[in-house]
Amino acid sequence: MGFRTDQIHAGVSPDPVTGGILTPIHQSTTFVQESVDGYMDRGYSYSRAGNPTVRALEEKLTVLESGHDTTAYGSGMAATVAVFLGLLRAGDHVVIGRVVYGGTYRFADQFLRKFGVDVDFVNASDLEAVDAAIRPETKLVFTETPANPTLDLTDLAAVSELTRKHDILHVTDNTFLTPYFQKPFELGANVIVHSTTKYLDGHNATLGGAVVVDSAELQESIAFARISAGLVMSPMVAWLTLQGIKTLSERMDRQSANALAIAEWLEGHPKVEKVGYPGLPSHPQHALANRQATGFGAMAWFEVAGGTEAGKKLMDSVPLWSLAENLGQVESIITHPVTMTHAAVPPEERKAAGITDGLVRLSVGMEDVEDLIAALEEGLEKV
């Protein structure tokens, strides 16, 4: 089936009792068993171990990512934590991209190290740097591409080839591009992480996460971490996410087209010093973006002439754009990573990663692009 067909139909079917076209919300903690000997004959016992509504979402994501299986979680961070808990133990070593979501950095820096796992943050765009960081005790390389918030790209095929050579795992966060634009398994990755909160939901309605794997062995390890730590997704969140995914391709197409138009406009504005968007020919990894993905996404960033204070003034005064921490929604959002999403990253690490104090991050929504540009123009006039 094609992607648009699968995003609507995969993993779901009419309710066998009523014929309801939408998957029922199985808002139940426990499931009654037929007998002691027939325990789990119906497939479910307790919603921390599994739930039919959540399972429908997991099956849909497995199809969309062309994976082996999926587990769903209460947040994107819960999904990332389950990967680390399920695949690492004290004495292991991990290599993580220097530019990743601030929560990923925080957990790796403040908790993995406390639990005896050694962590190296490296420039994941530099294959030689990744290779040099791998040791005999390294268990996995964790990448995020495009990376949050600088939109640096990782060559997924090259890193996957490297991890295969060292017989370790490649885990990658596919939140920004989703399986509609990027298929990491086809490029050799072993585990895909999603914050379903973002584009998969798309409507600012839920917190959720998912982990898609390429093997039964990985599924068993990560699912065991989920049930043990109680990192589960609720049935209502799964149901809402199922509805959001049905329009994923249409939203991604529109939002990405808007983002390109805005990035091109910003690049020519006299008060804008830098613009970052993989769809621009000026982006240093534009060729890689074309090679490993079918779209450029709806995230962009820029720096205003006048530095940090000018950027803050813009964000505080621009109309229409919501000053908030989320991304990937139908509403356009403007964010200051240094004080919001990446505040937990130490200043020296932010500087090394290229996350400057004046960086303005845009999550471009589905509004009329002329209105979004006019709002940015109004804000820039006040700078």
Give the domain CATH number at 224: 3.40.640.10
Active site residue 173: yes
- Nearest CA-CA partner of 168 in 92, 73, 107: 92
Of 196, 230, 245, the position where a domain reaches its end is: 245
Question: Do 262 and 204 share a structural domain?
Answer: no
Question: Do 284 and 140 share a structural domain?
Answer: no
Question: Do 151 and 180 share a structural domain?
Answer: yes
Question: Do 170 and 93 share a structural domain?
Answer: yes
Question: Do 83 and 188 share a structural domain?
Answer: yes
Amino acid at 284: P
The reported pLDDT for the residue numbered 29 is 96
Question: Do 176 and 45 share a structural domain?
Answer: yes
pLDDT digits (tens, 9 = 90+) for 284-314: 999 999 999 999 999 999 999 888 888 888 8
The single residue of 55, 198, 226, 312 carrying the catalytic annotation is 198
The single residue of 4, 6, 48, 313 carrying the catalytic annotation is 48
Convert 261-278 into a string of H (helix), E (strand) and C (coil).
HHHHHHHCCCCEEEEECC
Residue segments in the chain with a per-residue pLDDT below the cut of 70: none
Q: pTM of the prediction?
A: 0.96
List % helix, strand, coil for the chain (3-state, nearest 5): 40, 15, 45
Name the domain count of the chain.
2
Of 245, 274, 291, the position where a domain reaches its end is: 245
Question: Do 257 and 234 share a structural domain?
Answer: no
Question: Do 264 and 148 share a structural domain?
Answer: no
Active site residue 201: no
Counts of helices then strands in the chain (DSSP H, E): 14, 12
Question: Do 220 and 287 share a structural domain?
Answer: no
Phi first, then psi, for residue 36 (nearest 5°) are: -65, -45
The single residue of 69, 152, 155, 173 carrying the catalytic annotation is 173
Amino acid at 98: R
The single residue of 73, 101, 105, 277 carrying the catalytic annotation is 101
> Rounded distance, CA 214 to CA 226, Å?
17
Token pair listed for 82:
């389950």
Active site residue 316: no
Question: Do 301 and 239 share a structural domain?
Answer: no
pLDDT digits (tens, 9 = 90+) for 188-236: 999 999 999 999 999 999 999 999 999 999 999 999 999 999 999 999 9
CATH number at residue 309: 3.90.1150.10
Within 10 Å of residue 304's Cβ, how many Cβ atoms? Answer: 25
Question: Do 330 and 191 share a structural domain?
Answer: no
The reported pLDDT for the residue numbered 298 is 98
Angle made by CA atoms 140, 142, 148, in degrees to the nearest 5: 175
DSSP strand pairing (333-335 vs 272-276)? unpaired
* Full domain range(s) for residue 238: 3-245
Of 209, 227, 245, the position where a domain reaches its end is: 245
Question: Do 192 and 133 share a structural domain?
Answer: yes
